[in-house]
Amino acid sequence: MLARLLCLAVLAWAPFAAAQTITVGGLTLTHCIDQYDGYCGTLARPLDPSGRVPGSIGIGFEFYPHTGPDAPAGTIVAQEGGPGYSTTGSRDGYVRLFTPLRNRRDILLIDKRGTGRSGAIDCPRLQQARDPHLAAIRACSWQLGRTAWLYGSDLAADDVAAVLDALSTGPVDYYGDSYATFFGQVFATRHPDLLRTMVLDSAYPVLGGTPWFASEIENGPVSLERVCARSPACRDAVKAGGPSATARLQALLTSLRRTPVTGEAPGANGERRVVTADAAALFLVFATVGDTLVAYRDLDAAARAYLDAQDPLPLLRLVAEAEDGNAGGGPARAFSTGLATAVQCEDYRPLYDLRAPEAERRRQFAAAIRAKSAGDPGLYAPFTLGEVLAAPTDPEALDSCLVWPAPPAGVTPGQPVPPDAVFPKIPVLVLAGELDTVTSPREAARTTALFPEAWFVVVRNTGHETAVGDGGVFVPPYGGDIARCAGPIVLHFVESGGDPGDTSCVLRVRPVRTVPAFAARWRDVAPAAPRDGNAAAADALALASAAAETVGDAVARYAVTTSGTVAGLRGGHFTLGANGHGYTLHLAGLQWTEDLTVTGTVDWNQLDGRIEADVALSASGHLGALAIAWDDRATDAVARISGQVDGQHVEAERTAP
């Protein structure tokens, strides 16, 4: 151990390039990540510890040594969720989040078996399917053969423990988000001695779960009302005599049941494609809204545009983005759909007996659907169970294991830990996003109750994964949440050894700012309010306001895109690139309305929350150049607009978009 500490201390202060190899514990690691001075290693593990299936699997990991001269105070182990995501693939979020503690702490990212560097499962038909189907799942099970039941959380937890032992880390500080909270609970019951503290971000319980996965409806409608009540645009519409947010949702659902609408809309990554908005697709929007919050921002105004102005495009875009966010495709090393299916079939409670033949499973599944429809028809209200089952990209995946092979002897599906599992008495921090529909706050509360010494913190106005900024591929410079609240709480909890400290910032996270109204033409946009020095007439102020909405719409898509290229709602596009303190958006003929194009740059300083845009606008008979700025973290943010339109000097303001 002393040799390890001395080696790392020398490395941290060496005046030359980083050493190509280091020895940590009993393993030799190779320098592999220049950006963060990281080292890679692999530990061979038996594929089947019982010996029934021969072979081994390499468990890959990345190790980021502490940077200070003193001995390390410990190791932080971060784990990615899914299941199916690669932990090392999210290194930007994790390493940046924990960099403030790196002077005294090492950071370790381990890819669970079947993901990333650890033999990522690649079942081609299933991996590339946008909407997984049983034939592709069956083909994957045939490809895996006898190994199909060797990728559960229990064996993966033992792999992680083996890596910690090989590196001689001692007890670690564990951070896990989404499925990694479930995995973390398995790890805690199997290897409690290897844990110093745990942070479970957006958690759901490993015991007492339901096979129906109804968290979307458990938290979605009430969150929609909260968002509306806290946003002036939506709240004022209700006060003026309009329906509540949930009443408008019901009206939209009724309309789509009667007459679905099909059309071309921009997706998440620059493409435009034909999608259908029907009741099932609207459920998918709800099932994914907690991931990005964009649908909370847009949905009420999109419903008004469709119901009142017969403009379906904003709604169709939400469907296209939801499909993209929940669809397959992409490299298995980044996200393995095969691994996701294997874990689901082994660890989650099924609606049918996986030991039974396939025909019997299908009968049991059909019977379960009939019984639930008759006995609990409001399970997914206002959606029906049939609409949920018909949702594109199958977000609930209730039937995915119908064709999976039967488990081997001694394996009980849906029971990754025994019912009487003992949860360790270590400091545990459970974080929940108030608006999360992927893993609801109620699920996080049930997770908290499993641990003897746990703190439960709900982060207001926040969705899935509260503390780490690893959504998509665009991570803030500091790695944490945009509000810079949950991330610092996690850092304090880890550094203190289990004290959450002052968590009052969770009450000050700014609300979701909803779209006042989608407009097909700029003249239909409410003009910005003139300020001292304004010489512009009403048309110029309406153009300025529409330009601000165009900028705000682009900023909102930061949470949606994974490619960095996004098509405008009605035309044009923008690209997204890092700039050191956040991101710059380059707008090219972007059209939020049909008759106004906006070109220019938007600088988003994610260190202080300031958004500043310099844009040129063009409409038939109108030209202008504007500077638009607001503090994105402010609860009642106001956008200041200055410049000129048609030679008229503009000094105005409006609610930030």
| Candidate ranges 50-64, 283-297, 328-342; pick with highest mean pLDDT | 50-64
> What residues does CATH 3.40.50.1820 cover in the chain?
2-114+151-207+421-507
pLDDT at 241: 77
Token pair recorded at residue 339? 């691994």
| Least trusted range by pLDDT, from 1-10, 42-51, 270-279, 300-309 | 1-10
Q: What is the domain class of 2-114+151-207+421-507 according to CATH? A: alpha beta
Q: Measured between alpha carbons, how far is 278 from 261 in angstroms, rounded to an integer?
A: 7
Strand locations in 65-112 (E)? 74-79, 105-110
Q: Which CA distances in Å does 239 have to 150, 176, 233, 250, 528?
A: 56, 42, 10, 18, 21
pLDDT at 459: 98
Q: Is 385 helix (H, G, I), strand (E, B) or coil?
A: helix
Residue 387 has pLDDT above 90, yes or no: yes
pLDDT tens per residue across span 426-450: 999 999 999 999 999 999 999 999 9
Can you give 23-42 as a three-state secondary structure string?
EECCEEEEEEECCCCEEEEE
pLDDT tens per residue across span 131-156: 778 999 999 999 999 999 999 999 99
Q: Measured between alpha carbons, how far is 259 from 557 in angstroms, rounded to an integer?
A: 28
Q: Measured between alpha carbons, how far is 189 from 388 in angstroms, rounded to an integer?
A: 34
For 194-199, what is the mean pLDDT?
Answer: 98
* Phi, psi angles (nearest 5°) of residue 301: -70, -35
pLDDT at 76: 98
Q: Measured between alpha carbons, how far is 26 from 163 in angstroms, rounded to an integer?
A: 10
Is the torsion defined by CA of 267, 268, 270, 271 positive or negative?
A: negative
Q: Measured between alpha carbons, how far is 357 from 97 in angstroms, rounded to an integer?
A: 47
Q: Measured between alpha carbons, how far is 617 from 645 in angstroms, rounded to an integer?
A: 8
pLDDT band, very low/low/confident/very high, at 419 (cuts 50, 70, 90):
very high
pLDDT at 471: 56
For 361-385, what is the mean pLDDT?
Answer: 95
Other Cβ atoms within 10 Å of 47 Cβ, number:
19
pLDDT at 276: 97
Q: Measured between alpha carbons, how far is 409 from 74 in angstroms, rounded to an integer?
A: 40
pLDDT at 469: 79
pLDDT tens per residue across span 599-617: 999 999 999 999 999 999 9
Instruction: Report the chain's mean pLDDT, rounded to a whole number.
Output: 93
Q: Which residues are paired to 626 by β-bridges?
A: 615, 643
pLDDT at 325: 85
Residue 16 has pLDDT above 60, yes or no: no
For 573-587, what is the mean pLDDT?
Answer: 96
Closest CA to 60 of 82, 91, 34, 83: 91
